[in-house]
Structure 1
Amino acid sequence: MLKWFSIVCSMMYVFATTNTAEVLKVPLFVQHFIEYEGNLAEFVMEHYDNHKEDSDWATDQKLPFINPPIVLMVNAQLPEITFRIEKPTEITVSREKSTYQEKDFPSLYLSRIFQPPRFS
């Protein structure tokens, strides 16, 4: 029951928010084509290529995709982004002598490959 309810709700949403509802007008298209005297190419060219008002204008306006409804309009506005490039400031690095001395570490640690840096 829940599955069918979710399917029905999904279909209602799709038909309400997209032009998929125009597909439901296909039987009218077929019926109008059967009444038309000519082939399919002539029918499509006459009804979908700058159609002029004629005796069956009201029926022609009900054909699928003649007047599709505007179902969703998105208006997105991006914020204005400005860049300001400033001159970089000087970075000064002091080269003070380290307070590292070998007597501060056990000799076992100093014999390993990874040792603290030595400044002379």
Structure 2
Amino acid sequence: MRKASTIFFLVLFVLAQTELHQLMKLPVLIEHFIEHRQLNSSITLLDFLKEHYQGHTVMDNDYQRDMQLPFKTADCLTAISFVFEEPVSIEFEQQVAEIRKEYNLHKGSFSSSQALHSIFQPPRHA
């Protein structure tokens, strides 16, 4: 449900804020091409597109119909403003806290030679 609503709102935003909503007028383009084809059967799609989109717009009998074609008029006005500010530099003072702890793991009367002497002894005969 969330995915579907996200896609819906994304499509709604794109169609409202860009000229992509002009693509919804493609059926009008096809119908108008068929109308021209009925008047002149030798006209190709490329000739039709050149006539209606390349160069100066001709004020002929079907001018109102020509203006209904996609991308003939711009009806999407979107004002987008960007604000650029001077970057602010923030400096932090690095403070190093040093903690010294001394641990005495050995007793003062501890002798390492005595410990080794009691652990490592030669083998005994039975």
Q: TM-score, normalised by structure 1?
A: 0.57
**Structure 2 stretches lacking a partner, 5+ long:** 86-126
Is contact 1:26-1:63 (8 Å) kept? yes
1:29-108 to 2 correspondences below 5 Å: 29-36=29-36, 37=40, 38-49=43-54, 50-74=56-80
Match of 1:17 in 2: 17
In structure 1, C-alpha distance between the alignment counterparts of 2:65 and 2:45, rounded to whole Å: 17
**Structure 1 stretches lacking a partner, 5+ long:** 80-120
Greater RCO, 1 or 2 (C-alpha within 8 Å, sep 6+): 2
Specify the code of the residue in structure 1 equivalent to 2:67.
Answer: Q
Is contact 2:16-2:76 (8 Å) kept? no
Specify the code of the residue in structure 2 equivalent to 1:53.
Answer: M
The alignment's C-alpha RMSD in Å is 2.0
Q: TM-score, normalised by structure 2?
A: 0.55
Match of 1:85 in 2: none
Which structure would you say has the larger Rg?
Answer: 2
- Report deviation, 1:78: 7.0
